[in-house]
Structure 1
Amino acid sequence: MTASPQKILSPEEIAVRAGEQVSFLHLSEPGVFAERALRLRTLAEGHAMGDFLRFIAELADAQHSALVAGVPVPLPTAEQIEAAARDGLPLLPADRWPRGAVWRESLRTLLADLARHLADGPARSAALQLAAASDDHLDTQAGRLLSGAMFGLDLATAPLIAAGLQLHFVRLVRQTAAAHADGPVAPFGRIDDATLCPCCGSRPVASIERLGADGARYLACGLCATQWHYVRVKCTHCQGTKGISLQSLVAANDGAGTTTDAVVQAECCSECGHYLKLLHPARDNGAEPVADDLATVTLDLLVSDPEEGGGLQRHGVNLLLLFGDPDESPPPGQAH
């Protein structure tokens, strides 16, 4: 496989085609985890990472079961909403917002549910061991994961911690929106940094052209699953509009080199050297940001390769699949 560039529309052409204003914000739907699980199982068929994708699908099923249980979480006050809006900041900054005990209780319930659906083996053992870990260990690992600190992060259990955090922040955003729907200030809206999630302040996992929005591009949060509008042909890292190109996976023997039917592409910026994946649901209406990002690691490898794709750095963050140094943390449950 090779990475192949594709000509893209100019900002002016996209503005003409868009025709009208699009909605800025789309919060997660109640079935977000169920849809992710379905997509993961579809992508797993014949995939080199099939076993991993099916495991994450089981994890998403457990997240869905926990989400529909309707566990309440502590919500921000009207004063906090007004302050965040006034300062142009995300209301629920993931690395600083107090999670309380409810996130740990929900994580342990999720892990127990997951273990019931796994055969005996390393994955089931890891889930049960993490469920028995101390509160301190869970909070420390969560803090490292949300702050991007790789040192001391247990990469083996990081996807399980991430699943608990995703569940918690999806609940938090959805319940906040419902509780303050009629308040004087909307809980979520535009913030000063357009590249970050306006709800939790996380970086996007990927971007997606939403169906029914005339091809408008939205950034998709890998934590709380919120999607927010971000104009096309604009770097999601440096926010520049020069040097933008698209790269896709194409078969090495494809003489035509066409990539117009690629479901997932990498939108690349030669000015700052970063990229973010772009999904096209019109080409496959099952496309889902987290699932399709996991299934296209080969595209990451090609785009980041100095010879094949220009040696670009990934801007998107997928908490379910991290790369970094070997774990330096003690086993779950031990003191730090």
Structure 2
Amino acid sequence: MTSSPGNPPPIRTTRILEPEQIAMQAGRQMPFLRLPVRSLVFSDRQLRLRQLAASHPMREYLIFIADLAQAQHQVLQDYASVELPESEALEAAAKVLKPPMPAFGWTRDPVWLKELRRLLGLFRARLPEGPARDTLDRVVAADDAWVNEQADRLSRRIMFGLDLAAAPLIAAGLQAYWTQLVLQVAEREGENIYGRTDPGNECPCCGSAPTVSITRIGADEAGFRYLHCSLCGTEWHYVRIKCTHCESTKGIHFESLSPQPGVELPATGARDGAVKAECCDSCGHYLKQIAMEKDPEVEPVADDLASVTLDLLVSEAGHQRSGHNLMLLFGDPEIPDDGGGG
């Protein structure tokens, strides 16, 4: 593909092998689930965001989210205990292949609102005067009903009526809460309490959509793909060369930003080939795949944000994004006057 002045950067399309041709990997043992690590999940994210921001056109926003992730990390280290499901309910969910604490059905412990406001207080100390701080103050001052309504829209991926300026702030609180919930259950019951789900593209813990997939390195996980939950940060194994939206194994191909002589591409911060879009011709959706073998320092949420140019190019080619990143949402900016938020 070629590029001329005024045209978008080129993307490289690569056809790949069918699943049967890589089936030799099926006999290898690897952990199905990778729960978030309390001391690392948000700390690694904020470090990677700062690294990516160094020469990135979205530098200010990446730093903004890095500071937000740093506040998430601080809150998670001593998060208040939250109400957990009964052991019987966890076992019943596993038997029917459903997530035990679905984001769009689980009744959130009111403590999440207290911890959200604590998180925003920590974040505020890093914000200069301006619109972002004004939005934060508005969220902190809003009544609980409005915050919970906005949280419900985020959990259900309803964009109409969502306050897009406040969304990342509220989402940060939801992510911290669900990470605490997932870890607290595992501490009480053991990690094996979480089973597989049907369909397999839902998070086994909270049922949320993935942000991206990541192919990992390491003795037990080398070459295997995991989906990264957009809400609780859990990762679960999902076979490669299989659509994460419709689960088809036909018509799968990768597209990526293609550096060519004389063509200047927008910086993503990641090494060449570390971020690609896995596209499905069957359903027309795509999910980004990031590869640790190409860049060991990749982090799912951070590298997804930094590669938004790839989203624009693949969308222009006719594919629809299936990945969900709570830190970068697009939708109807109209906000209904429902008391407390506007």
TM-score normalized by the length of structure 2: 0.91
Q: Deviation per CA, 1:257-307: give whole Å up to 9, x if none.
A: xxx9411000000111000000001111110111111111100000010xx
Whole-Å separation in 2 of the counterparts to 1:71 and 1:328: 31
Whole-Å separation in 2 of the counterparts to 1:237 and 1:14: 21
Structure 1 counterpart SS, 2:193: coil
Q: Deviation per CA, 1:176-234: give whole Å up to 9, x if none.
A: 0111129xxx4201112101101000010000001111200011101000000000010
The range that moved more, 15-24 or 171-180, is 15-24
The count of corresponding residues between Structure 1 and Structure 2 is 324
Structure 2 counterpart SS, 1:234: coil
Residue 217 (structure 2) aligns with? 211
Residue 289 (structure 1) aligns with? 300
Report the CA distance between 1:332 and its aligned residue.
Answer: 7.0
Structure 2 counterpart SS, 1:205: strand
Structure 2 counterpart SS, 1:16: helix
Is 2:16 the partner of 1:16?
no
User: Equivalent of 1:170, from 165, 179, 200?
Assistant: 179
Residue 229 (structure 1) aligns with? 237
Residue 266 (structure 2) aligns with? none
Whole-Å separation in 2 of the counterparts to 1:17 and 1:153: 43
Residue 280 (structure 2) aligns with? 269
Identical positions, percent: 51
Structure 2 counterpart SS, 1:282: coil
Whole-Å separation in 2 of the counterparts to 1:147 and 1:130: 20
Whole-Å separation in 2 of the counterparts to 1:315 and 1:334: 29
Q: How does 1:1-336 map to 2 (within 5 A)?
A: 1-17=9-25, 20-30=28-38, 31-181=40-190, 186-212=192-218, 213-253=221-261, 261-305=272-316, 309=317, 311-330=318-337, 333-334=340-341
Report the CA distance between 1:254 and its aligned residue.
Answer: 6.9
Report the CA distance between 1:60 and its aligned residue.
Answer: 0.0
Report the CA distance between 1:319 and its aligned residue.
Answer: 1.0
Against the structure 1 CA distance between its residues 251 and 135, is the aligned structure 2 distance closer, same or farther, given a 3 Å change threshold?
A: same
RMSD over aligned Cα atoms? 1.8
Kept in 1: contact 2:139–2:341 (CA 8 A): no
TM-score normalized by the length of structure 1: 0.92
Whole-Å separation in 2 of the counterparts to 1:252 and 1:133: 50
